[in-house]
Amino acid sequence: GESVGLHLPTLSVQEGDNSIINCAYSNSASDYFIWYKQESGKGPQFIIDIRSNMDKRQGQRVTVLLNKTVKHLSLQIAATQPGDSAVYFCYMKTSYDKVIFGPGTSLSVIP
Amino acid sequence: EPEVTQTPSHQVTQMGQEVILRCVPISNHLYFYWYRQILGQKVEFLVSFYNNEISEKSEIFDDQFSVERPDGSNFTLKIRSTKLEDSAMYFCASSGSGAPLHFGNGTRLTVT
């Protein structure tokens, strides 16, 4: 099964710096990965996704990297802004439609 | 941009009472989901629904829970006899085939 945990890692970055948020997974059958952002009082909001046949995908100010060998997913945010402060969840899905959220990382941007 | 809407935003109920949480998914989506998030914890999968039936459910989704799509637009989650530990944010989500899930802003359920 998937590794889970209740501890919420926290990342504090200075405004303008780059942020890197990491997510590890254990199910090698996962073939679709998504990063979500959750602001206080709101539902998770889609940021970017990547399929297992890719190792990198870029969006606006965000890049997702997938390393299937070590089962690791990362989200890079360039020039972090105060509006990026939120909890970031990685979400992984297998071809059998099993949906799993990672525990989340709280990003705090220091003005 | 179309969005998933959930009502009510906050529901307070007494232990043992039934509650129905309502969701209007994005209109052309075919897959529907309920998740919950206990305060300070991660988002947990409850159930997925496709073609008018449950496609997958978690161990959390026991006999006290049920889902229904009573018409072409609504998707509901019913908890028959609420317990204190059911207090959480409940998120509805929908998606097209092979597409990311779109979430509503949730219903905060407080069981007293």
What would the pLDDT profile of A88-100 be if each residue is shown by its tens digit? Answer: 988 887 655 556 7
CB contact under 8 A, B42 and A43: no
For residue A59, pLDDT beyond 60: yes
For residue A7, pLDDT beyond 60: no
Locate B107 and state its tokens: 């219903």
Rg (alpha carbons) of chain A, rounded to whole number: 13
- B36: distance to nearest CA of chain A, Å? 10
Region B74-100: mean pLDDT is: 93
CB contact under 8 A, B44 and A101: yes
For residue A25, pLDDT beyond 90: no
CB contact under 8 A, A44 and B40: no
What pLDDT score does A99 carry?
A: 66
What pLDDT score does A98 carry?
A: 57
What pLDDT score does B100 carry?
A: 87
Task: Quote the mean pLDDT of chain B.
Answer: 93
State whether the Cα torsion A78-A84-A86-A91 is positive or negative. Answer: negative
Q: Are strands B107-111 and B10-13 parallel, antiparallel or unpaired?
A: parallel
- Give contacts of B 31-90 with A, CB under 8 A: 33, 35, 40-45, 48, 55-56
Distance CA B95, CA B77 (A): 17
Give φ, ψ of B26 to 5 degrees: -65, 140
Contacts 24+ apart (CB under 8 A), A95-101: A95/A29, A95/A31, A96/A29, A97/B48, A97/B55, A97/B56, A98/B56, A99/B33, A99/B45, A99/B48, A99/B56, A99/B101, A100/A2, A100/A25, A100/A27, A100/A30, A100/B45, A101/A36, A101/B35, A101/B42, A101/B43, A101/B44, A101/B45
Region B50-62: mean pLDDT is: 92
CB contact under 8 A, A102 and B55: no
Locate A2 and state its tokens: 């998937």
For residue A102, pLDDT beyond 80: no
Say which of B42, B98, B102 has its CB closest to residue A101: B42
Region B48-61: mean pLDDT is: 92
